[in-house]
Amino acid sequence: MAYYYRLGSIPPKRHTQFRQPDGSLYKEELVSSKGFSGIYSNLYHIYNPNEVKSIGQSKPFKWQVADQHGLNQTHLKTSGVEFTGEDYLDARRMLMMNNDVMMGICSPKKRKMDYYFKNADGDELLYIHDGEGVMYSQFGKLELRKGDYIVIPRTTIYRLEFKEEGPLRLLVIESHGPIETVKRYRNEVGQLLEHSPYCERDIRPPHELHIEKEKGDYLVQIKKQGMLHHYSYNHSPLDIVGWDGYLYPYALSIYDFEPITGRIHQPPPVHQTFQAWGFVICSFVPRLFDYHPLAIPAPYNHSNIDSDEVLYYAEGEFMSRKGIDRGSFTIHMGGLPHGPHPGTVEKSIGAKSTEEYAVMLDTFKPLQITTDALEFVDKNYPMSWSE
Ligand SMILES: [Fe+2]
């Protein structure tokens, strides 16, 4: 993360005696990245974080590539899905993947998790398309609102609770590398610069601690190397009385992303919101269109020779596409050009603004759809540019 933050009680000096009311020591845990060279936080536990009660059976938690899908411009029509599974993990359906990133959907029937989850394989980025709730983690309580990106650093132990009313729909991204703010928008000490589309005021870290002191049965499901491991403890992993550092989960609302516009069509990098290893995440938000007197607001045809480009359509009418619903994914693969649907270029001329919201994933290596995605494939899409 881009700035230092602290919550709760911590001793004035790190790695020194810090005592509980009964005189025993709090248990310090350093959570560090890139060995000791990356961002880190220091956490203070009531109980010993290594004290495991039992280890259950591990089970596979991975997705299969649909290797017969071939080279196709792809539209996944997922808008009709109400539920993708019973609970948060069971409902996680990754639809596309490569070695750097996986992306999918999650609409669980059960709104409250009765276990904790820790992803030890990668950072997670949740986009709250529909739903409202709270994330309880070792770092405290974080409100989840519609339109939020939630960045969850690897090994964060958390539990989600969503309100029962209304639809619940999450976009889930798992990244092999850390998910970070965009480097070209940061100065040499990490502060977001004046031309960044968002700044520190838009970033919401956990706002208060959530300490679970009661002893009992606590299950943590840990994803590691494509397996789900089951660890039981007789204390809650949310036993942190204080922490400080740069490593913590946070929220950034797509509604706080300030668009960059120009006299002629601006390229997707102006929409970039996050960076990671091998991919970027961009946000398309309501904005004024290009204001050159002869401007064409619709995008041009494009051959991105190194990337596969995925758009997830969140809200509004997407001006360059036909037959796309809220909740659709399009995957435009490197190796083929892609561009606006017939008629949409002419239609865009003279338009002043758009109300669209979309999340884009651009990968630097080829993506493949998973077998879970096959049921959503719109077979007519590759031919949809025919007049
Ligand atoms: Fe493109």
Token pair of 344 as six digits: 């949409």
Per-residue pLDDT, 105: 98
Write down the H helix ranges in the chain.
344-348
The CA angle 228-232-233, to the nearest 5 degrees, is 140
- Distance of CA 264 to CAs 123, 296, 327, 347, Å? 36, 7, 29, 16
Residue 74's closest CA among 304, 368, 387? 368
CA atoms of 94 and 311, how far apart (whole Å): 15
Per-residue pLDDT, 323: 83
| Matching residue, tokens 């019973």 | 86
Distance 200 CA to ligand 1 centre (A): 29
Distance 66 CA to ligand 1 centre (A): 23
CA atoms of 381 and 377, how far apart (whole Å): 9
Residue 140's closest CA among 29, 241, 219? 241
Report the residue count for the chain: 387
Q: Tell whether residue 308 is among the known ligand binding residues.
A: yes
Distance 206 CA to ligand 1 centre (A): 35
Neighbouring CB atoms inside 10 A of 107's CB total 21
Per-residue pLDDT, 243: 98
Per-residue pLDDT, 151: 98
Distance 358 CA to ligand 1 centre (A): 14
Given this structure, which CATH class describes domain 5-62+85-253?
mainly beta
CA atoms of 145 and 128, how far apart (whole Å): 7
Q: Are 302 and 265 in contact (CB under 8 A)?
A: no
Task: Report residues of the chain scoring pLDDT below 50.
Answer: none
Q: Tell whether residue 100 is among the known ligand binding residues.
A: no
CA atoms of 200 and 252, how far apart (whole Å): 10
CA atoms of 295 and 345, how far apart (whole Å): 11
What ranges make up the beta strands (E) of 65-214? Answer: 74-77, 92-97, 101-106, 116-119, 123-130, 133-137, 140-144, 148-152, 157-162, 169-175, 203-204
Supply the DSSP symbol for 155. T
Neighbouring CB atoms inside 10 A of 81's CB total 14
Ranges of CATH 2.60.120.10 domains, the chain? 5-62+85-253, 259-383
Which pTM was predicted?
0.97
Q: Tell whether residue 338 is among the known ligand binding residues.
A: yes
Per-residue pLDDT, 322: 76
DSSP 235-283: E-S--EEEEEES---EEEEGGGPPP---SSPPPGGGGEEEEETTEEEEE
Supply the DSSP symbol for 24. P
CA atoms of 152 and 252, how far apart (whole Å): 12
CA atoms of 149 and 171, how far apart (whole Å): 9
CA-derived radius of gyration, the chain: 22
The count of C-alpha atoms lying within 13 angstroms of the C-alpha of 119, restricted to the half-sphere facing its C-beta, is 24
Distance 284 CA to ligand 1 centre (A): 13
CATH 2.60.40.420 fits 259-383, yes or no: no
Give the model confidence (pLDDT) of 179-229 as tens digits. 999 999 999 999 999 999 999 999 999 999 999 999 999 999 999 999 999
Provide CB contacts within 8 A for 102, sequence distance 6+. Answer: 63, 94, 96, 173, 174
Provide CB contacts within 8 A for 107, sequence distance 6+. Answer: 81, 82, 83, 84, 85, 91, 167, 168, 169, 170
List residues with catalytic annotation. Answer: 265
Give the model confidence (pLDDT) of 84-96 as tens digits. 999 999 999 999 9
